Structure 1
Amino acid sequence: MNTVAECTVPEKILLAASHLEEQGQSPFSAEALIVAAWQKFPKTFGLKGYTDQHPDSNKVLSCIMGERGLARRGWLSKMGQKLYALTKEGRHVVHRLQSGGEPTQTGTAPVRISRDLEKYVLGLFSSSAVQKFEEGLKDELTFADACRFWGITENLHGEALDRLRAILADVERVLGGSTAELSNGRSVSRDDLYLLTAVHEYLEERFARHLTLLRNRVGRN
């Protein structure tokens, strides 16, 4: 199948999910999907520095969950606590990929995003929060990392969080099914935006109490 190498990260996860169902695992656990995706595509889902030894669970989970995850896309259906199954639409995507159909982002010309959007997105990718998240060091994330990611300080209101979501939505709308070429040569795809969204949602949940205290403090000023 000549399209597999060109598949997006979410599409590779779908292929792994299909493999699990072919083995009689339906519904399947998130953990089973993590291992299956890694076994099928070790270079994509292997833990950085330990590609052949350990899977990077964050990379799979960030594509499953969240507002732009596979479940929200309608490709996976949540059947219980960390239990999933392929939907009818998900099976259609798998069939298209297995029959040699074009992956989501194949054949589309790169697009350009505005300089302001580019500067903002590059700042997110270079943040310590994203770097730690990608390296599987979520336990080491601090509220200071989160504040730098969001671009807020103790003197700023949490509206910056809503702004981040709006900006990511703007970039995704501009991208469509394509990728964006940045001035530094980096390409940004929807998968990259899913990563940023996953980091945002994780930080927002983990530091919810901190954010509440921050908003209350600002509200009293």
Structure 2
Amino acid sequence: MGLFVNTIADCTVPEKILLAAFQLEEAGQSPFSAEALIVAVWQQFPRTFGLKGYAEQHPDSNKVLSSLMGEKGLARRGWLNKMGQKLYALTREGRQLVRRLRNDEPAPAPTDNVKLPRDQDKLLQTFFASTAVRKYQDGRKQELTFADACRFWSITENSQGAALDARLAAVRAALADVERMVGRGKTVLSDGRHLTGDDANMLCDLHLHLEDRFSRHLTLLRNRLARN
């Protein structure tokens, strides 16, 4: 089923990029290059992604690239996988979002009192007990330290390189699962804490912020461990 006209008009810049990425993959380009995506999204949405004053002649590559990279980029949000140097592919979550935008499947309905698995319940309690969450919620992001990040991720500086990456990937996947399960509903953790979709989004944003802010620390830790 095709896109509704009002859906296209309401799409955000990241959503339009995902729609173009989907069409590239449907045409057999997977993974696709950043350059191919820039051209594809400009061809579909020249008014949004055209160079100012030359919208019909040239794409504004910076507008696309800025949506791919950074803390709020499509890769960090779990919608695109970076497959190599300037190579990307849609994730399962990215394809699901595209299908909803294309009206191929309905958006999930609001749900109440979602039941989370015990391991996710315990993990969420650990997150909310961390100093990183308290500082982030109190608007004290500038006070966050790498020690706060380590406690949030439950890692130490003695972790092996492979274990470090595996732990970060596990945290990322667990938060994405919680975000999907809770959606626009809510849940109550076993310690009595009420958790909503906004809370799940906050944890995802915090994780991305910590990864971005302390990327050099993580790289140094990996490199140091690799030499040992």
1:139 to 2:145 alignment: no
Structure 1 ranges of 4+ moved more than 3 A: none
> What does residue 172 of structure 2 align with?
165
1:215 to 2:222 alignment: yes
Q: One-letter code of the match for 2:199?
A: D
> What does residue 132 of structure 2 align with?
129
CA distance in 1, matches of 2:138, 2:198: 16
1:198 to 2:208 alignment: no
CA distance in 2, matches of 1:124, 1:196: 8
Gaps of 5+ in 2: 1-70, 80-92, 95-108
> What does residue 76 of structure 1 align with?
none
**C-alpha contact 2:176 2:204 (8 A) present in aligned 1:** no
Matched position secondary structure for 2:115: coil
| TM-superposed deviation, 1:175 | 2.5
> What does residue 46 of structure 1 align with?
none
Gaps of 5+ in 1: 1-60, 74-102
Q: One-letter code of the match for 1:163?
A: A
Q: One-letter code of the match for 2:173?
A: A
1:67 to 2:81 alignment: no
Alignment of 1:45-194 (within 5 A): 67=77, 104=110, 108=112, 110-156=113-159, 157-158=163-164, 159-194=166-201
Matched position secondary structure for 2:126: helix
| TM-superposed deviation, 1:211 | 0.3
Matched position secondary structure for 1:154: coil
Aligned length: 133
TM-score, normalised to structure 1, is 0.51
CA distance in 2, matches of 1:165, 1:125: 16
**C-alpha contact 2:110 2:183 (8 A) present in aligned 1:** no
| TM-superposed deviation, 1:170 | 2.0
| TM-superposed deviation, 1:169 | 1.8
| TM-superposed deviation, 1:200 | 0.9
CA distance in 2, matches of 1:198, 1:68: 11
CA-based RMSD: 3.4
Matched position secondary structure for 1:164: helix
**C-alpha contact 2:179 2:201 (8 A) present in aligned 1:** no
1:164-186 alpha-carbon deviations (Å, 9 max, x no partner): 01111222333244212211222
CA distance in 2, matches of 1:197, 1:172: 8
**C-alpha contact 1:68 1:194 (8 A) present in aligned 2:** no
CA distance in 1, matches of 2:132, 2:120: 19
CA distance in 2, matches of 1:208, 1:150: 14
Q: Give the number of the structure whose alpha-carbon radius of gyration is greater.
A: 2
CA distance in 1, matches of 2:173, 2:148: 21
Q: One-letter code of the match for 2:224?
A: R
CA distance in 2, matches of 1:216, 1:190: 36
Name which structure has the greater RCO, CA cutoff 8 Å, separation 6+. 1
- Name the % identity: 48
TM-score, normalised to structure 2, is 0.49
Comparing 164-173 and 146-155, the one that deviates more: 164-173
